């Protein structure tokens, strides 16, 4: 950091010295042409200009020193704060023991997490007002920032539920992520890795500013009770804090399948996008365990809407993207229940049709769709080479 600033200062001095030399030459020329009075005027102008330039250098140098002192003070404040260190210690322990999340965060209060976040909002102000660059912040605070932002518990319980309140944090994250990826060489492995990268916010998510969408459309439906075979279930919209449960359920579905190609699970970035924009509902058993969920992509453009596959209008087409049922809870009619709820949501969503894909060998799933009024309209290769029937439902 010091070397960069020193070199910059030397370069400025050389430029100013060259400018002074040019002005002196001009003064000599004017002296020969117009006399002493004009040369004195030019000399005075040159002295004033050079003096102003050197004052600017000193002010710049003073600003650099102030920035360095400020970062050191902030670093000391971080280590002296019991609340910040409590969150930081929980983050580090959670990174080592991801399966022990509930115990690790049990005694950490929301106000302590909020203070940790506020600390980095202050760093963003330094960056936004050009007092400090990302490379200045990275040495001291990079690890502590990414381990916080890329922690799934923090994301799902604090940042995402009210994400539009964290605009400054996301702006800082965007700049910091770009800087880290720029200095990291994937071929040689040299550079600073991003802690918790598997949970990072995707570039597309940041570029589209999806974090500005606080209320996902899945909140239009109120929780309802569903009873089957003497078992009582609760059907409700999925929230950000349910993301880990959704990922767990998908993993269990894939492990139980004789052929993993029958089910194409959601990627985390797709789930994150749909939590903001689409309709997700889950079925919870009496013990609070997620046993089934579905995802409807709303009438919006994008490659996740199947409208482009049959050349229909995405503005009035919903896509039945995923249905997942816990292998231990099959036979309770969850799939058909989700299909019927999707059909019931069409008027509110202003949808003229619902599209879905099913593997040709998945007879059970296909029978559920056809029993509810869907029909096969095409067979295509989807999801990186998997054969899928495309089914469509249109109201009679």
Same domain? For 47 and 96 the reply is no
Last residue of a domain, one of 214, 230, 265: 214
Same domain, 66 and 114: no
- On whether both 262 and 386 belong to a single domain, the answer is yes
- Secondary structure (3-state) at 8: helix
CB 236 within 8 A of CB 224: yes
Q: What is the pLDDT of residue 385?
A: 81
198 and 149 housed in the same domain: yes
What strands lie across the sheet with 317-325, from one edge to the other? Answer: 224-228, 231-237, 279-284, 290-297, 317-325, 353-358, 386-393, 375-382
Alpha-carbon gap, residue 269 to 294, rounded angstroms: 16
Same domain, 182 and 310: no
- Please list the ranges in the chain whose pLDDT falls under 70: 1-65, 185-191, 215-221
Q: What is the DSSP string of 244-299?
A: HHHHHHHHHHHHH-SSGGG--PPPHHHHHHHHHHSEEEEEE-TTS-EEEEEEEE-S
Same domain, 21 and 90: no
CA-to-CA dists, residue 100 to 95, 247, 248, angstroms: 10, 16, 15
Last residue of a domain, one of 52, 78, 104: 78
Do 105 and 137 belong to one domain? yes
On whether both 147 and 197 belong to a single domain, the answer is yes
Q: What pLDDT is attached to residue 187?
A: 60
Q: Are residues 85 and 192 in the same domain?
A: yes
Contact 281, 335 (CB under 8 A): no
Contact (CB, 8 A) for 278 and 216: yes
Q: What is the pLDDT of residues 117-161, one digit of tens each?
A: 999 999 999 999 888 999 999 999 999 999 999 999 999 999 999
Instruction: Output the DSSP codes for 108-143.
Output: --HHHHHHHHHHHHHHHHHHHTTSS-HHHHHHHHHH
pLDDT tens digit string along 66-115?
778 888 999 999 999 999 999 999 999 999 999 999 999 999 999 999 99
pLDDT at site 65: 58
Same domain (yes/no): 92, 124: yes
- Domain boundary residue among 78, 111, 136? 78
226 and 276 fall within a common domain: yes
* Number of domains observed in the structure of the chain: 3
Calpha distance 233→224 (Å, rounded): 8
Query: Domain span at residue 51?
Result: 1-78
336: domain CATH number is: 3.40.630.30
Partners of 37 in beta bridges: none
Query: What confidence score (pLDDT) does residue 21 get?
Result: 52
Q: Say whether both 246 and 188 belong to one domain.
A: no
């Amino acid at each position: 950091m010091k070397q960069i600033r020193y070199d910059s200062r030397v370069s400025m001095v050389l430029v100013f010295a060259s400018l002074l030399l040019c002005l002196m030459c001009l003064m000599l020329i004017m002296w020969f042409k117009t006399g002493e009075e004009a040369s004195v005027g030019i000399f005075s102008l040159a002295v004033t200009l050079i003096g102003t330039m050197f004052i600017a250098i000193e002010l710049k140098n003073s600003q650099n020193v102030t920035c360095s002192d400020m970062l050191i003070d902030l670093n000391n404040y971080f280590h002296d704060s019991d609340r910040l260190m409590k969150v930081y210690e929980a983050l580090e322990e959670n990174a080592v023991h991801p399966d022990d999340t509930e115990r690790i965060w049990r005694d950490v209060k929301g106000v302590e997490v909020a203070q940790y976040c506020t600390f980095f909002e202050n760093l963003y102000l330094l960056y936004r007002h050009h007092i400090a660059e990302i490379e200045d912040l990275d040495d001291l605070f990079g690890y502590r920032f990414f381990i916080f932002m890329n922690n799934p518990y923090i994301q799902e319980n604090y940042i995402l539920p009210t994400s539009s309140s964290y605009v400054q944090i996301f702006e800082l994250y965007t700049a910091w992520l770009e800087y880290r990826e720029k200095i990291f060489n994937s071929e040689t492995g040299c550079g600073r890795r991003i802690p918790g990268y598997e949970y990072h916010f995707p570039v597309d998510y940041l570029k589209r500013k999806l974090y500005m969408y606080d209320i996902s459309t899945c909140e239009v439906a109120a929780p309802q009770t569903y009873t089957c075979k003497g078992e009582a279930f609760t059907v409700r919209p999925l929230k950000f804090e349910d993301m880990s449960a959704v990922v767990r359920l998908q993993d269990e579905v894939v492990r139980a399948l004789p052929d993993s190609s029958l089910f194409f699970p959601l990627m985390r970035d797709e789930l994150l996008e749909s939590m903001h924009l689409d309709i997700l509902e889950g079925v919870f058993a009496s013990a609070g365990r997620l046993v089934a969920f579905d995802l409807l992509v709303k009438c919006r453009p994008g490659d996740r809407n199947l409208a482009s596959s049959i050349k229909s209008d995405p503005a009035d087409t919903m896509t039945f993207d995923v249905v997942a049922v816990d292998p231990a809870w099959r036979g309770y009619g969850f799939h058909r229940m989700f299909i019927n709820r999707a059909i019931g949501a069409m008027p509110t969503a202003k949808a003229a049709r619902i599209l879905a894909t099913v593997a040709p060998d998945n007879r059970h799933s296909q029978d559920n769709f056809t029993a509810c009024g869907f029909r096969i309209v095409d067979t295509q290769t989807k999801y990186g080479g998997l054969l899928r029937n495309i089914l469509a439902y249109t109201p009679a």
